[in-house]
Structure 1
């Protein structure tokens, strides 16, 4: 497993952000395998979340707060180990303020775990749906821009996430959103064709549901659902089972357009969830549009002493 992770070099070499200290540290880590975690140095605290194949814990490693994802040994098989290897390979290669930071991994089977920075704000899903936070438009736009910047970085570096949803968007102590959970993410090789049904039904693009060839534009569709959640603070297709939602999406179903949303956000949602992937905008285009709208809203708010701009819908 250790050898497999070391061999799993992605296509990002030389294309990451030029932070010399980080680059130097990464090069040193690669040579000395400093990213290999000694589990004896991990202090495990409370369980944060549970998944079908593993559990996430709050922990301490070398004096810093971390999140530790353990794979359950009873569920280990070749496919799970391959996914683990791929996730570590991708996390080792990415460095962006809107992508969760990789600290290390234990690759000695059967005790496999991945250690990342701890995100005290929890997930965007919990923030919206469990804490019942209703966002003002400026905060909504900040969150959406954070997501887009993180995803644009991944796409620029030939990575497709394949499970973009609010549960995989985490918040730090300053409410900065970071893309997390690369368990099903993949390097997008130009020669390869993806057809596997991967992700979570309520956020899944129709081409993925239909097992058709797909690319990074599948992540754009998922972002449209995330944006809809930010605007409405509702769970998508909440009156349906996940499978019913998926069957509906493949037939053209989309979440009901929010009545009081800013018209530019409604237009953006619709362009991002169109059935034809090639007609969806890129994350760099979406980021530019959201940043322009953010500036417009700030200017409008300064000129509106009545406070009408404070709702998330206007």
Structure 2
């Protein structure tokens, strides 16, 4: 476990082997498991975030499968996928793979605790037939997790183990919700097919999910001879001049974040920076919004904004205060920090290509 280092694998730091105080020290993931988020917290994820979770999980498992020698997880389920907030979305990391690697394949595991479901729900049919565990057995389990993302339900909830076992071995599968994107629904069906050889490997799964994500972003091909109609589509504001969450007042600079599918706008006369996700009808104030002023929690006529991915923060040209400020993108941030002041009247925000100080 200690030798595995990968962005989508939980980091193992060490262990306590003192008698009576055995413990593993691992990376902390503040949101807990995907199981907790979906079935206890009842967090509603849009399809972009669901597909992002699915992709990251596949990348983590694929990494284990590609190691030499390969590591088979043997216990993939929503309980073993941990999440944390990252930018405007989530980061997903696979856990419990080290224990699963050394687990006896014939060990029966039915009920973990009275509060949590048994592992049986995620177990491939060949394992129920006491066959050898392969990378395709992990893929089957991943398919069940993908069904959880689509249905937002516990697989085989409230059904007895014997009933689940008979259902799976007979080739029956859970109903995939009709609201599931077609390509993702097809992927789930492929992952849980009865024959392991007919299932995709994780590299193929990654390619398919990346296509699913691209399908969520509708960018039509524009013909060379296209002519423009004298009208456009409003993607932010458009509800008149004002300072409500669905309004803007003299918007100036903007930054398009392709990774997180959002637009960040310098809402100048409202003295704030607004984040607007593609398709939303309201924006979210991420900097300023406390009236015109020069305090660290205020802006004065901001004209430009960009996102510094390395520090997960907004860099803002606070024009009226003749300064450049950094404002963290992390939730709970109430004020910025000054990077440069004062700026002369003719300073141009966009021309500097030197890295900003950390």
1:220–1:282 CA contact under 8 A, matched in 2:
yes
Q: Deviations over 1:92-111 (max 9, x none)?
A: 12111000001101234443
| Structure 1 counterpart SS, 2:133 | coil
- Asked if the contact 2:136/2:197 (under 8 Å) is kept, the reply is yes
From 106, 115, 119, the equivalent of 1:200 is: 119
CA deviation after TM superposition for structure 1 residue 182, in Å: 2.8
- Once residues 25 and 165 of structure 2 are traced to their aligned partners in structure 1, the CA distance between those partners, rounded to angstroms, is 33
Matches within 5 A, 1:120-269: 120-157=30-67, 158-174=70-86, 175-182=90-97, 184-186=99-101, 200-269=119-188
1:296 aligns with 2:215: yes
2:85 is paired with a residue whose SS is: coil
Decide which structure has the larger Cα Rg and report it: 2
Q: Which has the higher helix share?
A: 1
What per-residue deviation string (whole Å, max 9, x for no partner) do you get for residues 202-235 of structure 1? 1110111111122111110000000000011011
Contact 2:150 2:176 (8 Å CA) reproduced: no
For residues 267 and 120 of structure 1, what CA distance do their matches in structure 2 show?
32
Greater relative contact order structure (CA < 8 Å, 6+ sep): 1
1:96-130: per-residue Cα shift (whole Å, max 9, x none)?
Answer: 10000011012344432110011101111111111
Distance of 1:197 and 1:284 partners within structure 2: 30
Q: Is residue 208–residue 214 contact of structure 1 (8 Å, CA) maintained in 2? A: yes
1:99 and 1:180 in contact (8 A); partners too: yes
Find the aligned partners of 1:179 and 1:118 in 2 and give their Cα distance: 12
Give the secondary structure class of the aligned counterpart of 1:299. coil
Distance 1:93 1:243 in 2: 39
The CA RMSD measured in Å over matched residues stands at 2.9
For residues 125 and 279 of structure 2, the distance between their equivalents in structure 1, rounded to whole angstroms, comes to 35
Q: TM-score scaled to structure 2, two decimals?
A: 0.55
1:283 aligns with 2:283: no
Farther-moved stretch of structure 1 (239-248 vs 286-295): 239-248
TM-score by length of 1: 0.63
Unmatched 5+ stretches in structure 2: 110-117, 223-231, 236-277, 281-358
Please list the CA deviations of residues 48-101 of structure 1 after superposition, one character each: whole Å capped at 9, or x if unmatched. Answer: xxxxxxxxxxxxxxxxxxxxxxxxxxxxxxxxxxxxxxxxxxx11211100000
Q: Deviations over 1:238-286 (max 9, x none)?
A: 1412442123212222111212211111110111001111111011110
Instruction: From the superposition, tell whether residues 218 and 119 of structure 1 become closer, same or farther in structure 2 (CA, over 3 Å).
Output: same
- Kindly state the Cα deviation for residue 195 of structure 1 after the two structures are TM-superposed: 5.4
Distance, in Å, in 2 between the alignment partners of 1:116 and 1:203 is 24
More strand by share: 2
**Does structure 2 conserve the Cα–Cα contact (< 8 Å) formed by 1:159 and 1:187?**
no
Alpha carbons 1:129, 1:233 under 8 Å: kept:
yes
- Structure 2 distance, partners of 1:306, 1:184, is 52
Gaps of 5+ in 1: 1-90
1:295–1:284 Cα change, 3 Å? same
1:92 counterpart SS class = coil
Deviates most, 241-250 or 143-152: 241-250
